[in-house]
Amino acid sequence: MFKIPEDLLTMPEHHQVIHLDGCKIIESCHHEKLVADSIYVNERVLLCMLSGKIALDFASGTDTVEEGQVGLLNRNVYAPYRKHGTPERGYASVLFFLNDAFIQRFLAERKIVPSHPAKAQDHFVTEPTLQFLDFVRSVLNLFQSKLKYDRQLLQLKVTELLIHLTNQHPEIASQLLSGPIVAQKDLVDVMEQNYLKYASLEEFAAMSGRSLATFKRDFQRTFKVTPAKWLRVKRLEQAHYLLQHTGTNVTKVYNQVGFANYSHFSRVFKDHFGYGPGSMK
C-alpha cells in the first residue's frame, strides 16, 4: 500500500516533483503493461491521465480514469488500483496534490459557495477542457526536459487549472468544499465488506481511517477478538461454504478468500475444522 503523496516523495528515481505553495505536482510514468497495488490518499489530488488508464476499487464500486480524463480523489480514501499502460506510450499521469490552505485560498478568491449542501464523496471523474489538458502536457514537458520554470507563474497556472474545472463542473467546487471524508468509518461495515481481500492489517486500518494501533484497539473492543483471528475464522468459514455448496476447486478457493498460498490455507483449515480442505471434494 502506498500512502500518497508521502511515499511518492521517497522515490525520486520513479517520480519527479515540483513543490509550490500548498501544491505538489508529481509525474508518474512507467512502461509496464500492468501495475497493481493500493493507495491511501492523505491530500486531495487531481489525477490527470495522459496515457493508459487506472482502475480504482472504491467501497462504492470500481471507477476508471481513462486517457484524457481527470479524477479528483478526496482525503482519507483507500483504494486498490490497477495501472494499465499502452504498448506505444506506457502509463503517464500528472498528479496535483492540493492542501487545505491552497483550496480555501482558491475558493475564497473565487467567491465560490456551493448552491446546495456539500456531500462528501471519495472520488469524481470528468472530461477536462482542452486548455486543461494542454497545461498538464506542458507540465509533463517540464519534467521531461528539465527546463527551468517560473514558480509564481506555475502557481498561477494551477489556479487557472482549477478555474477551468470548476467552471465546467460546478460539482467539483462542492467536492472541494466538502471537507475530508470522516476519517473513522464503521469497523463492522469495513470488515464485512472487505474481509475476503488479501490485505495487510495496515491496509485494513487505512480502509477504516485509523492508525494501525487505533485499529487494533477499536477492533478488540468491537469484536472481542484480535483482527488476525477474526479474519482467519471468517475466511475459513467462507472457504468451507464454497467447498461444500459450490463445488469450487480447492486449489482456487484459498485465493478467493484472502489467503496468500495453499499450504498455509490447508494447514489452518485442518487446524480449525479437524480435516483438510481436500477431503471435501
Residue where one domain finishes, among candidates 141, 158, 177: 177
| Percent of the chain surpassing pLDDT 90 | 37
**Beta strands 2-4 and 34-41: pairing type?**
parallel
The residue to which cell 469450487 is assigned: 248
- 251 backbone φψ class: left, alpha, beta (φ>0; ψ -120 to 50): alpha
Give the model's confidence band at 163: pLDDT under 50 very low, under 70 low, under 90 confident, else very high.
Answer: confident
The answer on 157 and 95 residing in a single domain is yes
The residue to which cell 475464522 is assigned: 233
The answer on 118 and 195 residing in a single domain is no
The answer on 223 and 103 residing in a single domain is no
182 in any annotated domain: no
Range of the domain at 20: 2-177
Distance CA(64)–CA(52), nearest Å, equals: 11
Residues 6+ apart with CB under 8 A from 154: 18, 20, 25, 139
53 in any annotated domain: yes
Lowest mean pLDDT among 56-60, 176-180, 183-187, 266-270: 176-180
The answer on 145 and 24 residing in a single domain is yes
Q: What is the CATH number of the domain that holds 165?
A: 2.60.120.810
| pLDDT > 50? residue 139 | yes
| pLDDT > 80? residue 231 | yes
Residue where one domain finishes, among candidates 177, 203, 227: 177
Cβ atoms of 63 and 70 within 8 Å: the answer is: no
169 in any annotated domain: yes
Cis peptide bond N-terminal to 114, omega within 30: no
74 in any annotated domain: yes
Cβ atoms of 183 and 41 within 8 Å: the answer is: no
The answer on 167 and 42 residing in a single domain is yes
The answer on 264 and 136 residing in a single domain is no
Rg (CA), the chain: 22
DSSP string, 21-45: TTEEEEEEEE--SEEEEEEEESSEE
